[in-house]
Amino acid sequence: MSAIVGKRDLILADPYNHSSLKNGAILSGATVLEYAHCNVEVLKEMLERDRANYRRCLILTDSVFSMDGDLCPLPQLLDLADRFDAMLLLDEAHATGVLGKTGAGCVEYFGCTGRPLIQMGTLSKAIASLGGYVAGSAALIDFLRNRAPSWIYTTGLSPADTTAALTAIHIIQQEPDRRTQLWQNIRWLKQSLIQNSKFKIQNSKFKIPSPLPTQSPILCLPVDTPATALNLGKTLQQAGIFVSAVRPPTVPTSRLRLTVMATHQPDHLQQLINALRDIGCC
Ligand SMILES: Cc1ncc(COP(=O)(O)O)c(C=O)c1O
């Protein structure tokens, strides 16, 4: 980010972006303004009001939001970027290997391949290695290779991590059944959560929103307080299930964050539903 924008520039960012994007934006020295989550109308108003006052403008968004599992409105964001002469940087961390026909991410899922954008992601989620990538036009990549200090003045990835990442990419391309299995698991779990959508917790009830506001393997169960989230996380862990209890200030409201995998067997998913029922299904 600090290679492409600076003091005379504007960053318009989704407030639910990952911390690394937020900190990268601050480090760039650009003016950073946040638009309402996924709200293209608000973003348009901000572009109309502010764009002309800055040299360059960068729209910044996660593709799959890491704490809610919802997707950014990519086609509309690209239209706005085009209309207001802005760049768009998309963090595909949770979409790589998961979304799109070949697992190429949200860009492929929305049919936006080839549209001008800065597509970046990590090699640390579905790819299960370390490091990250940036994809874009040849001019952009050439520019970053010559102007991004975080690329120039750092040691490259280790051969082992690189080989692991390349092998994972090969598997993603060659074994689409894994992705099919993942999406079957996601659908099954979503459906079961909706069917069992009233759970009683410590004398209070919460209702799982129906349908769950997610379009990814990240499924969230909202809970009333941070303490409830922690307690439920512990109880589930004792039942052999790892579910992260996510609380403010990481997110505005507390929730249990479920992450579905391709390798989960039907038994595993049923075990989760049973454990949630045991906690206090109505
Ligand atoms: C959306 C998003 N972007 C970036 C990152 C950072 O990834 P890494 O840990 O591979 O640097 C994460 C990690 O949690 C993430 O969720």
pLDDT tens-digit readout, 231-278: 999 999 999 999 999 999 888 888 899 999 999 999 999 999 999 888
173 Cα to the center of ligand 1, angstroms: 22
Compute the distance between CA of residue 119 and CA of residue 90 in angstroms, rounded to an integer: 5
SS3 33: strand
Q: Provide the sign of the torsion angle of the four alpha carbons 219, 221, 227, 232, taken in this order.
A: negative
Q: Is 2 in the pocket of ligand 1 (CB under 6 A)?
A: no
Label residue 213 by pLDDT band (50, 70, 90).
confident
Q: What atom of ligand 1 comes closest to residue 125's alpha carbon? A: 10
Label residue 203 by pLDDT band (50, 70, 90).
very low
96 Cα to the center of ligand 1, angstroms: 12
pLDDT tens digits, one per residue of 72-96: 999 999 999 999 999 999 999 999 9
Q: Is 91 in the pocket of ligand 1 (CB under 6 A)?
A: yes
Q: Is 34 in the pocket of ligand 1 (CB under 6 A)?
A: no
Position 281 scores a pLDDT of: 43
Q: What is the dihedral of CA 37, 43, 49, 54, to 10 degrees?
A: 100
Position 223 scores a pLDDT of: 85
Of 143, 138, 139, 98, give the one whose Cα is nearest residue 121: 98
Contact 242, 161 (CB under 8 A): no
Compute the distance between CA of residue 197 and CA of residue 80 in angstroms, rounded to an integer: 38
274 Cα to the center of ligand 1, angstroms: 31
Q: What atom of ligand 1 comes closest to residue 131's alpha carbon? A: 10
pLDDT tens digits, one per residue of 122-133: 999 999 999 999
Q: Is 122 in the pocket of ligand 1 (CB under 6 A)?
A: yes
Torsion angles phi and psi, residue 137, rounded to 5: -65, 160
202: number of Cβ within 10 Å: 13
Domains and CATH numbers, the chain: 10-174 (3.40.640.10), 177-280 (3.90.1150.10)
Q: Is 124 in the pocket of ligand 1 (CB under 6 A)?
A: yes
User: Mean pLDDT over all residues of the chain?
Assistant: 92
Compute the distance between CA of residue 247 and CA of residue 249 in angstroms, rounded to an integer: 6
Which residue of 66, 129, 150, 259 sits with most ligand 1 atoms within 8 Å of its CB, as the best mutation to test the pocket?
66
122 Cα to the center of ligand 1, angstroms: 6
Report in angstroms the alpha-carbon separations of 133 from 104, 129, 141, 169: 12, 12, 11, 12
For strand 57-62 and strand 10-13, is the pairing parallel, antiparallel, or unpaired? Answer: parallel
Contact 242, 231 (CB under 8 A): no
Contact 259, 253 (CB under 8 A): no
Position 186 scores a pLDDT of: 95
130: number of Cβ within 10 Å: 15
Q: Residue 205: beta bridge partners?
A: 200
Mean pLDDT, rounded, for 201-219: 67
